[in-house]
């Protein structure tokens, strides 16, 4: 067994062994060394990348995706105060919500959970979010992306209304829009002019990560 804490943390995360991971994290925290803390954060981020790959390849499932995200969040909370910047650097801000007429929460929450553990700052507007509330949040938070979730076929029309209103108010060009949910498809995203469709939380997070690097 390797004693390299970086490898050990990654392994603990991938074994879904929360207690073991937090023991290693605690040892790093005890060192009070910002560089070691940064190494630990990087190791956890690498572990999450592997989690994402396993999920997308069908090797892991939503339950494991969610639990690994929770473990990673616990570890990050302990490590963040030690980092030079006084906290883990945010990958960027993302505004999300379920569209008007749709009260479903699960898919959006799983995305929020995974994206947060991957370093994004999530502004969650909740469910059945009115068009004007999406637009207001886009103006106020100036996120790198706006995410809309929609489980119901009957509320899919709300996605287009938000996009239209963003364009009308001159906010659309500077903002990437990503959509996801059971009622939506890649074709629908193209039809309404969204920038991307995400069938799952990992794809959504990867897409936004690529945008944040542009």
Partner 1 sequence: MNFKERMLTAMNHEEPDRVPVMGLIMDPATVDQVLGKNSTNVVKFLDKPVVGRAVQKLLDSNWFWDRMYFKNFSGALESATRLGFDANWAIYAFMQIYKGETNQKGAALNDVFGRVWTMGTDDRGNLSVDYSQALCPTEAAWEAWVEEKSALFDRVIRNATSFHQMLVDAHGDKIMPIGYAAPGIFENSWQAIGFVDFTKLVYENPQFIKRVVEFQTDFYLRYLEGVMQPGVEIVLGGDDLGQKTGPLMRPDLIEKLYGESYRRVADLVHSYGRKFVFHSCGKIYQFLDKFVDWGFDGIITMEPTADMDLGRVREQVGHKLVLIGNLDVSHLLVKGTRDEIDAAVKKAIQDAARGGGYILSAAHSHPYVDATRLQWMVESAHEHGRYPIRGS
| Interacting residues with partner 1 (CB under 8 A) | 16, 18, 58, 60-64, 66-67, 70, 100-107, 109-110, 113, 126-128, 152-155, 157-158, 181-183, 185, 199-200
Smallest separation (angstroms) from partner 1 to the CB of 113: 6
Residue placing its CB nearer to partner 1 in the complex, 91 or 102: 102
Residue placing its CB nearer to partner 1 in the complex, 39 or 133: 133
Q: DSSP label at 179?
A: E
Smallest separation (angstroms) from partner 1 to the CB of 111: 12
Establish how many alpha carbons lie within 13 A of residue 46's alpha carbon, considering only the half-sphere containing its beta carbon. 13
> What kind and span of H or E run contains 16?
none
Residue placing its CB nearer to partner 1 in the complex, 38 or 68: 68
- Asked whether the beta carbons of 166 and 79 are under 8 A apart, the reply is no
Residue placing its CB nearer to partner 1 in the complex, 36 or 159: 159
With a CB cutoff of 8 Å and minimum separation 6, the contacts of 47 are 9, 10, 13, 14, 68, 72
Angle at the Cα of 208 from the Cα atoms of 122 and 158, rounded to 5 degrees: 70
Residue placing its CB nearer to partner 1 in the complex, 67 or 211: 67
Token pair listed for 89? 């650097």
Smallest separation (angstroms) from partner 1 to the CB of 158: 8
Smallest separation (angstroms) from partner 1 to the CB of 121: 18
Smallest separation (angstroms) from partner 1 to the CB of 110: 7
């Amino acid at each position: 067994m390797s004693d390299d804490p970086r490898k050990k943390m990654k392994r603990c995360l991938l074994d879904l062994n929360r207690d073991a991971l937090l023991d290693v994290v605690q040892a790093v925290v005890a060192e009070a060394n910002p560089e070691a803390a940064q190494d630990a954060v990087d190791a956890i981020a690498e572990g999450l990348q592997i989690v994402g790959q396993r999920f997308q390849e069908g090797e892991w499932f939503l339950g494991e995706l969610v639990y690994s995200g929770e473990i990673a969040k616990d570890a990050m909370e302990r490590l963040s105060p030690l980092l030079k910047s006084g906290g883990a650097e945010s990958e960027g801000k993302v505004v999300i919500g379920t569209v008007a007429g749709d009260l479903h929460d699960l898919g959006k929450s799983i995305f929020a959970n995974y994206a947060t553990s991957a370093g994004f700052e999530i502004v969650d507007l909740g469910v059945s979010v009115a068009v004007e509330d999406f637009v207001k949040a886009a103006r106020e938070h100036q996120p790198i992306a706006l995410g809309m979730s929609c489980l119901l076929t009957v509320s899919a029309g709300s996605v287009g209304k938000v996009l239209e209103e963003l364009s009308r108010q001159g906010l659309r060009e500077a903002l990437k829009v990503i959509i996801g949910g059971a009622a939506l498809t890649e074709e629908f995203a193209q039809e309404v002019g969204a920038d991307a469709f995400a069938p799952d939380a990992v794809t959504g997070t990867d897409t936004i990560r690529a945008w944040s690097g542009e």
